[in-house]
Amino acid sequence: MSLTAPAAGARKPRTQITLSVVRALRLSPHLVRVVLGGAGFDEFVSNDKTDKYVKMLFTDVDGHQVTRTYTVREVNEVDKTISIDFVVHGDEGLAGPWAAAAKPGDMAIVSGPGGGYAPDPTADWHLFAGDESALPAIASALDALPSTARGVAFIETYTEADAIELRAPEGVEVRWLLRRDAHAGKTTLLADAVADHDWAEGRVQVFAHGERGAMKQLRDVFKERGVTRTQLSLSGYWAFGRTEDRFQAEKREPVGVIEPISD
């Protein structure tokens, strides 16, 4: 369960960049920011997507190299660092526990970034919905919105202590949905809140990401509301009871498919 250099002959993701932990800071009980830098930063070619993400390389308990996907919350060209906000979700998994224990000097190997979404300045309003795994991407999108933007962001998390401060334009309301003792990935909080919301007039742009089951519920709400495919960025970021390896593999099985919405 460690983060290691690629084994000789292992299948390499596109471009691997070796970085090291500069510092790690707790943003909330369930969120740790890890700031990565080092000589490898110069190989990191950023893009203009607010949901830009990297694949991080880990070695699992069986010695297999696996990847975990993380949003790049911030690229700091002056300090030559990238920041990633990790959900710490207990002892299970590779990336969460790695981030919880991260200390200066630890190595991190990433590839990317990919990405697919940026706020559309011509949208009449914006709707964001996600759990804390999508919080970094939602926070980056809120940062990038023009000051005149209007909309609402629904973010599901554990308790008030996890509701971190976000910069958002005055016309964009941030609503925290607290699951408290319920298990992450086992609530209907996001779909209920979006369905009950008083939708504004005009063309909405939607960014919805998080636990797969919750995203399936949201997909049905968006369909009912007449949101079209081009207005929608929606995907599962993880799935309850699945490692990321299984979650990614299941995208080729019926359980892993979030039925697309037509135009």
Binding site for ligand FAD (CB under 6 A): 53, 68-71, 85-87, 89, 92-96, 133, 136, 184, 237-244
Identify which of residues 28 and 133 has a Cβ nearer to ligand FAD in the complex.
133
- Residue, CB closest to ligand FAD: 93
CB of 241 to ligand FAD, least distance (A): 5
CA distance 156 to 154: 7
CB of 99 to ligand FAD, least distance (A): 8
Identify which of residues 53 and 154 has a Cβ nearer to ligand FAD in the complex.
53
Token output for 190: 């996001």
CA distance 212 to 190: 12
| Residue that has been written with the tokens 């011509």 in this structure | 122
CB of 68 to ligand FAD, least distance (A): 4
Token output for 184: 């992450």
Which residues sit opposite 31 in a β-bridge? 28, 87
CB of 8 to ligand FAD, least distance (A): 24
Identify which of residues 94 and 193 has a Cβ nearer to ligand FAD in the complex.
94
Identify which of residues 95 and 218 has a Cβ nearer to ligand FAD in the complex.
95
Phi, psi torsion values for 139, nearest 5 degrees: -60, -40
Burial of 159 (0-12, 13-18, 19+ CB in 10 A): middle
CB of 145 to ligand FAD, least distance (A): 19
Token output for 75: 């690229």
Identify which of residues 40 and 93 has a Cβ nearer to ligand FAD in the complex.
93
The CA R_g of the chain, rounded to the nearest whole Å, is: 18
